[in-house]
Copies of this chain bind each other. A is one copy, B any other.
Amino acid sequence: LRALLQVDAGYYMQERSAQSLPTAYGPDLGSGTNLRRVFLGLQGKVFGDWNYYFLYDFGGATTETPGKVLYAYMQYDGLAPWSFRVGAYPAPINIEDSTTSGDLIFFERNSPSNLQRNIAGSEGREGISVLYTGQRVFGALSLTGNKLGDGAKAYGAMGATAVPNYDEQTAVSGRISYLPISNEHAHWIVGANALTVFNLPNLVPGGAASLSTTPGATAKGSYAFADVPEFSVDSNGTQLVSTGALSASHVSSWGLETAGNWGAFYGQAGYYGYYVKRAGIAYNVFSAASTSSVQTVTPSSNSFNGWYVQAAYMLTGESRSYNAATGSFTAPKPSKPFSLKDGTWGAFEVAARFSELNLNSHKDDPANIVTGWTSTAKTYTYYNTVRGGDQKILTLGVNWYPNSNIKLALDYQYIDVSRLQAPAAVTTAAAPSLAAVNGGQKLSTLAMRFQLAL
């Protein structure tokens, strides 16, 4: 039986000028409180070689949701160091991903890592994996599908319906890492990863009209790259960087990363690339006034990238320790738990992180088509620009661990989102121009977390 409770309270301090942004761009992020995670877990072993793990969450990012499955898998360990796992779980994608929620240094995983894991992994992802957990090598190769609850009947007999899926997502992902240094004072891990979604969920049934042939229809496959600003008390879950839904035929990503500790010091960094091959979109294209024909335009494929570096230092001398089973590091254990009687205070940690996630691609690309033509004016639609925004976040944090079950954290973030609003179609009799209206903002946040982990 395991449990994790994270109680968050936070304030967003936005510029006054942000108020004039459209709602989707976050004019007013909602300060408040949030039970970020309320985990109930069950772990065990049957017949020696078969392990299982169930983990339910009753909390939620941005707003708490009813109890749902994060992990529910069975695993065969009879051929160690090889393991075979099937069920729902976060297929190992990167180091930050493999660090469990209770062991994170900051409130949320950094945006570049988080974006990557959400593509084909993260909690509740159905899949089957082969794992290799050696002393110096960690490897994982996974075939993954939809996340739990995706699809039309999410609330089944009870009323609400989500977007239907005709055939689910299929992806392959792999992560490998190696430890050049592993001794009692220091660990150093280097790693690489890659994933590709070769089958996006089908949003229309086979045989139905799709956006690639019929203007206004639903795309057969699409994908949106987006993330919250590494903090999610805002109950509207506003994502300051977001490409919106991109018509897509497949999506992939890769990364290089490293992490290590040297006594009480801990450092971690990574670089990730993201790629989407765009699918065609059909338009009514005008060749003269009132004369149009359906044409399929395929936007240029898009590449995005992100990177981060983060470090922590235990003022009280403990260290984060390497966990060979996950290929990542765990939270420190205080050597002197807090006790009024003994006059001991537990452990203290200071930490800093910088991350950048750039979701712009062809952001000033003026490629357009004429989707309207009256006698005097033409309407120009820009189809190539993807203005997801460029998000830079500096986070400073201090963590107090009264004992190995309790943690109190205080984090400050400075967030700088440089972003243009998505261009609207332009109707003019003159030469058209691609608009460049600000959709970004600068803000800072201050947040506290109370955590209990069993």
Contacts and interface: CB of A to CB of B under 8 A. Distances in A.
List 8 A-B pairs, minimum CB-CB distance, nearest first: A151-B235, A32-B168, A19-B207, A28-B205, A66-B66, A67-B67, A159-B162, A160-B160
B3 A35 contact: no
A127 B185 CA distance: 41
A149 B63 contact: yes
The SS class assigned to the A binding surface is loop
A126 interface: yes
B72 A237 contact: no
Interface in A140-170: 145-168
Interface in A311-330: none
Interface of A: 1, 3, 5, 7, 9, 19-20, 23, 27-35, 38, 40, 42, 44, 46-47, 50, 52, 54, 56, 58-69, 72-74, 78-79, 86-88, 126, 145-168, 202, 205-208, 235-237, 337-338, 340, 402-403, 405-406, 450, 452, 454
A162 B158 contact: yes
Contact of A52 (B5, B34, B58, B63): B5
Given A54-B5, A153-B235, A158-B162, A206 B145 contact: no
11 contacts: A7-B73, A7-B86, A23-B205, A31-B168, A33-B126, A35-B126, A46-B406, A63-B149, A65-B156, A154-B155, A155-B160
A72 B3 CA distance: 11
Given A28-B206, A44-B454, A159-B163, 4 more contacts: A3-B52, A47-B338, A50-B405, A78-B340
A156 B60 contact: yes
Nearest to A233: B168
A418 to B, nearest CB: 21
A236 B27 contact: no
Contacts of A164: 30, 235-236
Nearest to A88: B35
